[in-house]
Structure 1
Amino acid sequence: MGWRAVISRQKGEDAVADGALEAICKAVREDRQPQPVYVRIANALSSHISDGNLKHRAKLPSHRALAEALGVNVTTVTKAVRFLKDRGVVSAKAGHGTIVRGKELDHMPPVYERLRTLPRNDLSVVKRQGAVFGEAVSAAIKRVVGNAGTISSLREYQPSAGSTDVRQIGSLWLAAAGVKVAPDQIAIASGAQHALFVALAATMKPGDVVLVPSIAYQGIKSAAQMLGLGLIGVDVDDEGIIVSEIERHAHNPRVRSIYLIPTLDNPRSVTLPLERRKAIAELADRCSLNIIEDDIYRPLSLIDLPSMIELYPERTFHVSSVGKVLAPGLRCGFLAYPAVFREIVMQGLRATVWMADPLTVSVVQDIIVGGSFRDLVTDLQELLMKRHRVAIELVGNWISRHCRPEGNCLWVSLPAEIKAHEMTEYLRMEGVGVVPSSVFTIGSAQNNALRLYKGSSTDEASWKDALLLIRRAVEA
């Protein structure tokens, strides 16, 4: 059976749910909260999605049908749908209607959740492979557990941003990747996502808007949703976010920040050129905007370019972590921030996890101070470049030349007649986990691609098998 035949069984998901219109109208009418009508409509739609009454890829009633049933004008319904669209809950395309993308709080199709448990070759999430990793981390854990200082650190609360010694490891980690920041401007976080959340909370208030690439790391969506922030997707090309498109939105009074992964970005492994970095820094300075620089892949980069915090230190928050380079289970992140934001950053840390886990931080400290992290970085770089060569050989026709070989993400663009979500479902049924481009899309950008993590296959044969499966399906 061909992959299209396998997928055809899933088509029933696209139908409009029976009774949805009546149930949504009832929920709106029963909502007695003192808030605008469009918010009540958005809440009703969101509740039906979160409860599973409107499933992934279900089509919502038309704007006109909803407006007539509720006795409101079409503009009010359009505003409610735009509210959900900005938060990644639904997507809309001319001629196709409004489609449910996923539950309100996770902003990703259910297929992404299912990938975590089903595929035997799961390339949808980061995993660290190899003997070098096992040996280095095992040795570090043994040294840390046998250290009396470790036990002492567990007896009491540590400073929210980390002790002086601990913040020094953040400075060493950043310096090894070419970023110089003093320890007193670094806070220790429980991973990069935590650092990103604190940076957003420190610089923005509910209703503010972040400019983000139209193809972006999905974690920015969930963080923005929790903080009540809006997102505007800015057009990208093969080299990254387009500066002129940032400027087109930068004067919007609600826009407060620009979010970027400038080096080996997720999901495309593209590195932003120097001239664009400088132009973005100049634009942010001119428009008094903050920059949130998510630079977690920088230690892997073979290109030495200045970071945004070096180009625009006055208002740049630099996020880094060891998760994507050493191991995702080591939840230790670093947030470098402008000194004027110190107190609000401390408040953000205390309001979330209070302090990073001392035991994990001690293991990371041992790896960084002892220098074994250099071997781990080199080992991963070599693995990623080796697997990139295999990918170019097998599916090179669908990989951009701007996709860096040392990047962990592989972005495979599909022919227009093959839909990414259908290919994702087919691969899942064949035991391979990937992520469709819709998960990373912000705004109305149209993309049709798959993201694979190159380092996640347990061995070279599994990596090659996954790529061959994709090639055969595309060429069928």
Structure 2
Amino acid sequence: MTIWPPNPDDLRRPAYRSLAEALISAVDAGELRDGDRLPTHRNLAYDLGLSVQTVSRAYDELIRRGVIAGEVGRGTFVKSGRSDTQTPFLPDGRYGELIDFSLLKPVFEPMHLNMMRRALSKLGGDLPASAVSSFRPSGVLRNYTTSALKWLKRCGLDVPSQGLLLTNGNTAAMTVALMTAAGTGDLIVTEELGHHTLRPLSRYIGLRIQGLEIDDEGVVPSAFARACEKSVVKAIYLMPTGLNPRAATMSMERRKELVRLARLHDVLIIENDAWGPLQPNRPEPIAALAPERTLYFTSLTKCIMPGLRYGFLVVPETYQSAAANRHLVTSWMVTPLMAEIGSRWIEDGTSEFLLDWQMKALGERNRKAAAILSSTVFNCSENGMHIWLPMPGSWTEDAFVAHARLNGVALAHGSSFELSDSVNKKGVRICLGAETIETMERGLTVVSRLARSNPEPPLLTL
């Protein structure tokens, strides 16, 4: 079936968005290639029975998203390749009636909104002056240290308050950790399929990134050893507990071996534990094994509530001053209102209640996903927010994502997470938390049918 040019009858309202999505699907499927010249606004409008303004708006949207480029006097062309800033999720939310499996987020229901409303209402009556008057990070830290350390203990870390920084979520903590661990031109190694923002963030602050071979547990120790023997490695960035794209959890034996190699080659460890205690029976964090060289971060955002941007960065004693300075220049300090709510919830048990609820909700979704995809090979973790579907049969990532999109389902390209030029583990990430459970089941049914089919079958509909 030809994706481009689209059938005018297949365009939904708003037409400019539907037209933009059709062109993106054509690029993903290989029907439009790098450098291909696109029709003029007027010609495409005539062919599709649209107004010139509608086509112009679609082209403007595609230019903004970096998919096409206009050249004065020459026309409009498909731009080359995905950039380092390519995100795996839909950048502007869902278009039309898409079931969005592209965005990694916890399950969110009206209960969560009501609990936040109650928290804000209570704050209106007993808000401490420090929450709105604090201007010194040290003052804010003093107010919320006890509860933060309590949550870290729930994550498996018993640490002194001196090594703690409160952050505006995981991204802020990740930025400070990278800037503390390495300087301009230094080499960071990580999983070859890893965090999708790690490459652009490292580039912005002048770091070099090298992806290492992975297996079903994560980084292969021999690959880490070879990288250290070949070059000076400043830090290894790891997501050892289900968070990585392939939903892999690293065994205690693997963690100990990577720690041994890090000590042998004097390499720092950056541990992204954004899900915190979401996974049951998980091994203790790497930071508990090597506190002298591990910069560890987690938050309440992924496992409690998406809008609660409140995180914790634990830093070895030697690097505490440097980390505090990096935090000052990038964020100054955690937003006190978020810290106030997060701290109250940790102290009064709300966070524990919401964590338990989230574990049960994600556990149920993973069980339903396993049943629907029972005839398909996939990777998952017990209470994980996503599953990894290796490309079945002769499917390519681009074709599978494009066909799913045309059937109303948005998936995340595995290539969005590639941090090496030689990755051969092709697949798609399917996130389970963003939709209702009924919508999730409908979308997974489409994915299951596609996975059992050939790349050129008649397209299915929801």
Q: Same fold (TM over 0.5)?
A: yes
Find 1:13's aligned residue among 15, 32, 51: 32
Unaligned runs of 5+ in 2: 7-21, 38-65, 454-462
Aligned position for 1:324 = 302
Answer with 271-280 or 238-247: which moved more. 238-247
Whole-Å Cα distance in 1 between the matches of residues 279 and 139 of structure 2?
27
Contact 1:13 1:56 in 2 (8 A): no
Q: Which residue of 207, 210, 225 maps to 1:232?
A: 210
Q: CA deviation at 1:375?
A: 1.3
Where does residue 9 of structure 2 map in the other structure?
Answer: none
Give the one of 377, 381, 394 matched to 1:417.
Answer: 394
Moved more, 343-352 or 245-254: 245-254
More helix by share: 1
Q: How does 1:341-360 map to 2 (within 5 A)?
A: 341-360=319-338
Q: Deviations over 1:195-254 (max 9, x none)?
A: 011011011111111111011121212221211111111111112221111111023444
Distance 2:262 2:235 in 1: 8
Within a 5 Å distance, the mapping from 1:118-197 to structure 2 comes to 120-125=98-103, 126-149=105-128, 151-159=129-137, 162-197=140-175
CA 1:56–1:409 in 2, change beyond 3 Å: closer, same or farther? Answer: farther
Provide the residue aligned with 2:382 in structure 1: 405
Aligned residue for 2:403? 426
Report Cα offsets for 1:290-329 as digits up to 9, x if no partner.
0000011131111231211111111100010111111221
For residues 155-176 of structure 1, the C-alpha deviation after alignment (integer angstroms, 9 at most, x for no partner) is 2313168422312222111111
Following TM superposition, by how much is the alpha carbon of 1:132 offset from its aligned partner in structure 2, in angstroms?
4.1
* 1:398/1:183 CA distance change after superposition, 3 Å: farther
Contact 2:194 2:418 in 1 (8 A): yes
1:136·1:367 contact (CA, 8 Å) conserved in 2? no
CA positional deviation for 1:395: 1.3
- Is contact 2:68–2:79 with CA below 8 Å preserved after alignment? no
Residue 254 of structure 2 corresponds to residue 276 of structure 1: yes
Residues 162 and 259 from structure 1, CA distance in 2 versus in 1: closer, same or farther, beyond 3 angstroms?
A: farther
1:372 and 2:356 aligned = no
Q: Please state how far the C-alpha of 1:2 moved relative to its aligned partner.
A: 9.5
Cα deviations by residue, 1:306-357 (Å, 9 ceiling, x for unpaired): 2111111111000101111112211111100011111111111110110111
Matched residue SS, 1:212:
strand
CA contact (8 A) 2:67 2:79 kept: no
Aligned-partner Cα distance in 2 for 1:154–1:297: 29
> Which segment is superposed worse, 134-143 or 303-312?
134-143
CA distance in 1: counterparts of 2:412 and 2:337, whole angstroms: 33
What is residue 77 of structure 1 aligned with on the other side? Answer: none
Residue of 425, 446, 450 corresponding to 1:469:
446
Instruction: Label 1:52 to 1:119 Cα distance change in 2 as closer, same or farther (>3 A).
Output: farther
For residues 408 and 348 of structure 1, the distance between their equivalents in structure 2, rounded to whole angstroms, comes to: 31
- Tell me if structure 1 keeps the 8 A contact 2:98–2:405: no
> Do residues 101 (structure 1) and 78 (structure 2) align?
no
Give me the TM-score of the superposition, normalised by structure 2. 0.80
Partner-residue secondary structure (3-state), 2:439: helix
Runs of at least 5 residues in structure 1 that lack an aligned partner in the other structure: 19-48, 60-99
Equivalences, count: 400
The Cα of 1:387 is off from its aligned counterpart by 1.1
Shift of 1:423: 2.2
Q: What secondary structure is seen at the aligned counterpart in 2 of 1:251?
A: helix
Task: Classify the secondary structure of the residue corresponding to 1:410.
Answer: strand
Q: Deviations over 1:413-455 (max 9, x none)?
A: 2214212222223333433222110001111202321112212
**Contact preservation (8 Å) 2:268, 2:294:** yes
1:248 aligned partner, one-letter code? R
Taking the aligned partners of 1:136 and 1:348, their CA distance within structure 2 comes to 34
Offset of residue 15 of structure 1: 4.1
Residue equivalent to 1:30: none
The aligned counterpart of 1:63 is none
Identity %: 24
Deviates further, 284-293 or 151-160:
151-160
